[in-house]
């Protein structure tokens, strides 16, 4: 995955998503990912001042986070593999109110929870910690750490969602929080294979996703 995806996507529909600044240190990745020891990723020198909305979200969701269990939805990230399904990798951080809001949406929206549980293999990774993972990509299994995945997918904020095909190959990246209605439409876009045959490197998939949002009433056509 190249960082050009985020640049193209930002120009098309980035205004639809909200996210928190990522507190990870991202380094250049070599052609072949290298295994690193588990360690905490260094925090940014200074924390960003939260907006009034983010403060309200945090106050609301920190308590709620302890009330629900999504272990039946999110699989163990020690091994990240599609297992014959479409795959989603979600990068989160403990201090991100939009991550909490997203999980709250999943827990309280049956259709969304059922889709992620039954139709997708969904994994969450803490972007502030460096863990070791077994990653399956196009039939090959490799050892990789969280920081390397952050660099591969160009993660700069949380939540960031990576949507991948049934071989583990990335289809597109969503940098930010999606309201539950939009999340469901995005899952439908993947399942209906509206991305199939489109160039994943030049922005065609993101253009198709934007048009799909318009057709499903998630986004207004500005023409």
Q: What is the pLDDT of residue 219?
A: 81
pLDDT 10s digits, 109-137: 999 999 999 999 999 999 999 999 999 98
Comparing CA positions, the residue from 130, 144, 172, 170 lying closest to residue 25 is 130
Q: What is the pLDDT of residue 43?
A: 45
Considering only residues 14 and 114, tell me which one the structure prediction assigns the higher pLDDT. Answer: 114
**Percent of the chain's residues with pLDDT above 90:** 61
Pairwise CA distance, residues 32 & 164, whole Å: 20
Q: What is the pLDDT of residue 55?
A: 64
pLDDT 10s digits, 164-177: 999 999 999 999 99
Q: What is the pLDDT of residue 64?
A: 54
Considering only residues 201 and 53, tell me which one the structure prediction assigns the higher pLDDT. Answer: 201
pLDDT 10s digits, 137-171: 888 899 999 999 999 999 999 999 999 999 999 99
CB-CB neighbours of 148 under 10 Å: 23
Domain boundaries along the sequence of the chain: 4-27+70-215
Confidence of residue 37 (pLDDT cuts 50, 70, 90): very low
Query: In the chain, which ranges are E strands?
Result: 20-21, 39-40, 74-75, 79-80, 86-92, 120-126, 129-130, 132-137, 140-145, 157-158, 160-164, 170-175
Considering only residues 70 and 31, tell me which one the structure prediction assigns the higher pLDDT. Answer: 70
Pairwise CA distance, residues 33 & 71, whole Å: 28
Q: What is the pLDDT of residue 67?
A: 55
Q: Which CATH superfamily is domain 4-27+70-215 in?
A: Glutaredoxin (3.40.30.10)
Q: What is the pLDDT of residue 47?
A: 55
Q: What is the pLDDT of residue 41?
A: 44
Beta sheet of 132-137, edge-to-edge order: 79-80, 132-137, 140-145
pLDDT 10s digits, 38-96: 334 444 445 567 677 666 655 555 555 555 689 999 999 999 999 999 999 999 998 89
Strands 86-92 and 120-126: parallel
Judge whether 107 and 68 are in contact, CB under 8 Å. Answer: yes
CB-CB neighbours of 57 under 10 Å: 22
């Amino acid at each position: 995955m190249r960082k050009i995806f985020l640049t193209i996507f930002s120009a098309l529909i980035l205004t639809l998503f909200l996210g928190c600044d990522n507190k990870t240190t991202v380094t250049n990745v070599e052609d072949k990912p290298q295994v690193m020891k588990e360690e905490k990723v260094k925090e940014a020198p200074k924390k960003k001042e939260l907006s009034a909305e983010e403060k309200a979200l945090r106050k609301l969701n920190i308590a709620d986070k302890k009330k629900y269990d999504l272990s039946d939805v999110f699989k163990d990230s020690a091994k990240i593999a599609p297992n014959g399904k479409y795959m989603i990798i979600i990068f989160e951080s403990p201090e991100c109110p939009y991550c909490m809001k997203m999980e709250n949406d999943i827990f309280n929206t049956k259709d969304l929870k059922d889709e992620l549980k039954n139709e997708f293999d969904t994994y969450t990774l803490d972007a502030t910690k460096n863990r070791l993972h077994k990653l399956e990509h196009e039939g090959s299994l490799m050892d990789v750490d969280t920081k390397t995945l952050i660099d591969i997918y160009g993660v700069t904020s949380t939540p960031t969602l990576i949507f991948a095909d049934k071989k583990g190959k990335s289809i597109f990246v969503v940098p930010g929080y999606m309201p539950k209605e939009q999340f469901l439409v995005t899952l439908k876009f993947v399942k209906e294979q509206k991305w199939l045959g489109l160039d994943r490197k030049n922005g065609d998939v993101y253009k198709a996703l934007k048009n799909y949002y318009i057709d499903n009433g998630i986004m207004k056509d500005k023409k």
